Amino acid sequence: AFHLKYFERSVEIVYSTEVMQKILIVEDDVIICGGIKVYLESKGFMADCAYSAAQAKTALQSRYSLVLLDINLPDGDGMELCREIRQKGNTPVIFLTANDTEENMIAGFRQGCDDYIAKPFSVELLYQRILAVLRRSQSTVENETVSYGELMMDFSRMQLYKNGTPVKLSATEFKLLEMLVRNKGQVLTRNVILERIWDCNENYIDENTLSVHIRRLRQKIETDPKNPRYIITVFGIGYTFGES
């Protein structure tokens, strides 16, 4: 029977103030998937399990930092799923499989995987491979994405994610949030925001317009819009972005 070598019975939980990254584990063996999930969470990651291609496709409607993917799935081919993932974006994929022949490895890389780990494997080796792949993938978008708490902004795609789930923002709402995020730690006056976002063509805009957009934005991103954590009002002046 397949087993994870060197899996620790007890692990030290690592707490971090940094934003946790989310990993999807696509593996039909419940014990293996659960063991990997527990280990990764002990290292500070968030992890979800999918036990079939269908479950994986549903899960991938949310955003993940990386996908661990078995090739042999009960209802499909991991190679085909990798191809679909690659067609939709650049989410890193690491294959976990017993098919460790050179031919299968080459096929996996041709489908767009970032790494290939043959079973059985050490969870420590898996962890180090994940870190290496994430370092490579994140270096290419370092200046295009930022994360605070449960929020992640992808500036290049004009997309906001909350806990890995896309949040639908209007173009104006996104520009407003981006302006606040890029000036984190600074107080932006209402006039400055109005001039930069609405009044670039010298068109007069009522200040109430800004208040309405701030309220709508808070309703979409704040857990408690009446006690905002991210969009903070500086009374009499304007707004700032923070994590209170």
Domains of the chain: 22-139 (3.40.50.2300), 169-241 (1.10.10.10)
What is the reported pLDDT for 40?
A: 93
Give, as one character, the DSSP assignment of residue 69: E
pLDDT band at 11 (very low <50, low <70, confident <90, very high): very low
Per-residue pLDDT of 29-60, as tens digits, reads 999 999 999 999 988 888 999 999 999 999 99
Query: What integer is the mean pLDDT of 153-166?
Result: 87
Element of type H or E holding 176: helix 171-182
Q: Roughly how many angstroms between the first and final C-alpha of the chain, as a whole number?
A: 49
More confident residue, 220 or 136: 220
Collapsed DSSP state (helix, strand, coil) of residue 206:
coil
Per-residue pLDDT of 206-244, as tens digits, reads 668 889 999 999 999 999 999 999 999 999 889 999 864
Contact 23, 46 (CB under 8 A): yes
Query: What integer is the mean pLDDT of 157-178?
Result: 88
Residue 135, both tokens? 């370092």
The residues, ordered by sequence, that sit 6+ positions from 238 with a Cβ below 8 Å of its Cβ are: 187, 188, 189, 190, 191, 192, 193
CA angle 29, 81, 166 (to 5 degrees): 100
Query: What integer is the mean pLDDT of 166-181?
Result: 87
Query: What integer is the mean pLDDT of 84-111?
Result: 83
